[in-house]
Structure 1
Amino acid sequence: MALDATVLATTPAGLPNAGGPQPTALVANAREASELLKAMAHEGRLVILALLGERERSVTELESMLAIRQPAVSQQLARLRADELVQTRREGKLVYYSLASDSVREIIRTMIRMYQS
């Protein structure tokens, strides 16, 4: 379900669009976009994505930063992973999470810019 950057930058015919994103591309992929927004439509998951937008982090780091218990963090990470918004990297016993794509990173950056005071 990860959002493909080419979906946003191509015309429905699949031809590159020099003028930028076209609404018709979103219309053609509305179900996928809706699923992406549903996955992000949870305060805890959104905060996790914002933190992962800075750099990769372990569950322990996220637990400490969010002040919530490990099972709750793991549950939200599992949802984000199932929705292909985050990916993992194992180092010994630790599992590190990071954003799965530049498209997800750009969406998070846009949201951060929107809500900066």
Structure 2
Amino acid sequence: MSADKQGCGYSPDSSFVELAVEVFGMLADATRVRIILALQDAGELSVNNLAEIVDKSPAAVSQHLAKLRLARIVATRQDGQRVYYRLENEHASELVASAIFQAEHSLGGVPRHHHQDRAGA
């Protein structure tokens, strides 16, 4: 294991393990995963736009966004009365993508993301 990975908390005894579990817990909700995917695609959206995309009420989406904001997964920008949300960084998006890729493996056969690898080869 490289020294830079050890510095980032890549060891079983790292103090970041418990925090990583909290991140996984935060992402263990289908609506939150959908919100992250929507923000990944759009970059920045209001609560009402997100509610329409994820097919939930604005109040429900707002509660999920509040949790994601506390976890520093999303950030906000205010424009007058409207608040826009965006992903704080690429890491939550990468976790969601990896989880979806792993889910594709559970279906059997060759997952779609492996088809993309073959097309580029």
TM range (shorter): 0.7 to 0.9
**d(CA) in 2 for partners of 1:82, 1:68:** 20
TM-score normalised per structure 2: 0.71
Cα deviation, residue 83, structure 1? 1.0
- 2:62 corresponds to which residue? 74
Unaligned runs of 5+ residues in structure 2 are 105-111, 113-121
Identify the match of residue 38 of structure 1 among 1, 11, 25: 25
Structure-2 change in CA distance of 1:114 and 1:56 (3 Å): farther
TM-score normalised per structure 1: 0.73
- 2:79 corresponds to which residue? 91
Larger radius of gyration: 2
Higher-RCO chain (CA-CA 8 Å, sequence separation at least 6): 1
- The count of aligned residue pairs is 100
**d(CA) in 2 for partners of 1:22, 1:32:** 11
**d(CA) in 2 for partners of 1:112, 1:53:** 14
Cα deviation, residue 78, structure 1? 0.6
Cα deviation, residue 63, structure 1? 1.1
- 2:51 corresponds to which residue? 63
Q: Retained in 2: the 8 A contact 1:53–1:108? A: no
Q: Secondary structure at the match of 1:32?
A: helix
Over aligned residues, Cα RMSD in angstroms? 2.1
Unaligned runs of 5+ residues in structure 1 are 1-8, 15-20
* Letter aligned with residue 69 of structure 2: R
Structure-2 change in CA distance of 1:56 and 1:111 (3 Å): farther
Q: Which runs of 4+ in 1 moved over 6 A?
A: none
